[in-house]
Amino acid sequence: MSINQCNISIIGENNIARSFFTIMNRKEGIEVARNDKDKLASAHLVIETHNMEQGEKKKAIRYIDEHAPAGATVLTTSMQWTATEIASWSSYPERVIGFGAFADAEEAPAIEAAPALQTDPAHMTGVQTLFQSVGKEVEWVDDEVGLVYPRILAMIINEAAFALMENTASAEDIDLAMKKGTNYPAGPLEWAEKVGIDNVFAVLNGLHRQLGEERYRPASLIKKLVYAGWVGEETEKGFYHYENRLSKELIR
């Protein structure tokens, strides 16, 4: 994969896809397209970002197999499924690499990536070189659902959602307590709205399904917001909108 002559195709309609489109447009010589079948035919790297439904994820991988060159690297979000499982859906499993990133990827200095058991190391080298060229480090981690940063952040957000559901404190007070108590740049509920409540749900759902432990069970409020399409900044609705709406209804 030549950095100065690289075609990148991004597959997805979510904020992660939009964020990576912006990141990759930073460097001259890289041509970036999103959801463009014609451009996919000449791609050197494909970034696939479906996180929610397994059926849609499989369909996206098969679509890439059908339309992208066989030698193109496929970087796919692996926050709900392992890269090894996703690679098993592909006709070219050796080119699949998992990664973990939320909608705040533009601000993060690095992305996490995990090779599948089937991954050819040459694809890893190409990904690392390319991301370094746009100012992003690649942190290689083991191929586990949720990876590291998405997993830990999702767990913190989940606990905050349970605290909100149990009326332990208001959304504002939960966020304020965590910012002052831990020096976080944002409270967990604010953070969830920034990175996408749907992405948080995907990580938790994957961990709960994979490991079967109660501590990974997504809070019912997170599920409810995802089902309503209230996933944070993208829709301008989330935990705070839910709490304010509920308060108004109780006052009536």
Q: Where are the domains of the chain?
A: 3-140, 149-251
3-state secondary structure of 41: coil
Tell me what the mean pLDDT of segment 2-23 comes to: 86
In three-state form (DSSP H/G/I as H, E/B as E, the rest C), the secondary structure along 89-111 is CCCCHHHEEEEECCCCCCCCCEE
Q: What is the pLDDT averaged over residues 70-87?
A: 96
Q: How many helices (H) and strands (E) does the chain have?
A: 11, 7
Contact, 26 vs 109, CB < 8 A? no
Q: Is the pLDDT of residue 27 over 80?
A: no
Token pair for residue 70? Answer: 């066989």
The per-residue pLDDT for 247 is 61
Q: Output the six-digit token pair for 26.
A: 């930073």
CA atoms within 13 A of residue 236's CA, in its CB half-sphere: 0
Q: Where are the alpha helices (DSSP H) in 104-148?
A: 121-133
Does the structural domain 149-251 have CATH classification 1.10.1040.10? yes
pLDDT on residue 64: 97
Looking at the domain that runs over 3-140, which CATH code has it been given?
A: 3.40.50.720
pLDDT band (50, 70, 90) for residue 2 = low
Average the pLDDT over 221-237 and give the result: 94
What's the pTM? 0.91
Q: Cα separation of 46 and 63, whole Å?
A: 11
pLDDT value, residue 62:
97
Instruction: Please state, in angstroms and as integers, the Cα–Cα distance from residue 142 to each residue in 4, 97, 153, 241, following that order.
Output: 30, 11, 17, 37
What is the predicted pLDDT for the residue at 185? 86
- pLDDT recorded at residue 249: 54
**How confident is the model over 129-183, as pLDDT tens digits?**
999 988 999 999 999 999 999 999 999 999 999 999 999 999 999 999 999 999 8
Per-residue pLDDT, 166: 94
